[in-house]
Amino acid sequence: MAGANARPGVALVVSDVDGTLLDPDKNLSPGAPAAVQRLQQAGIRFTIASARPPRLTQLLLRDLHVSEPSACFNGALLIDPDLNILHQVPMTSADAQTVADHIRKSQLDLWVYTETDWYVSNPSGPHVEHQKNLMQGKAAPLLSYDMSQFHVLKLVGVSDDYGAVKRAQFEIDHLLGTAISATCSSDYYLDVTHADANKGMVILTLSKMLNIPTEQIATLGDMQTDALMFRQSGVSIAMGNATDEVKTQATYVTKSNSEDGFAYAIEHFILGGEQKK
Listed range (3-12, 25-34, 108-117, 129-138) with the worst mean pLDDT? 3-12
Q: What is the DSSP string of 77-138?
A: EEE-TT--EEEE-PPPHHHHHHHHHHHHHTT-EEEEE-SS-EEES-TTSTTHHHHHHHHTSP
Pair 102, 172: CB distance under 8 Å: yes
Three-state DSSP state, 231: coil
Q: Residue 275: is its pLDDT beyond 60?
A: no
pLDDT tens-place string over residues 51-93: 999 989 999 999 999 999 999 999 999 999 999 999 999 999 9
What are the extents of the domains in the chain? 2-88+198-271, 93-194
> pTM of this prediction?
0.88
Pair 5, 272: CB distance under 8 Å: yes
**What's the count of helices (H) and strands (E) in the chain, helices before strands?**
9, 14
Can you state the percent helix, strand and coil of the chain, rounding each to 5? 40, 20, 40
Q: Residue 276: is its pLDDT beyond 80?
A: no
Q: What is the DSSP string of 36-58?
A: HHHHHHTT-EEEEB-SS-GGGTH
Q: Residue 266: is its pLDDT beyond 80?
A: yes
CATH architecture of the domain covering 93-194: 2-Layer Sandwich (3.30)
Longest dimension (CA), the chain: 57
Q: Residue 3: is its pLDDT beyond 80?
A: no
pLDDT tens-place string over residues 167-211: 999 999 999 989 999 988 889 999 999 999 999 999 999 999 999
pLDDT band with cut points at 50, 70 and 90 for residue 111:
very high
Mean local confidence (pLDDT), 240-255: 97
Fold of 2-88+198-271: Rossmann fold (3.40.50)
Residues in Cβ contact with 205 at an 8 Å cutoff, skipping those fewer than 6 apart: 71, 75, 78, 87
Q: What percent of the chain has pLDDT over 70?
A: 95
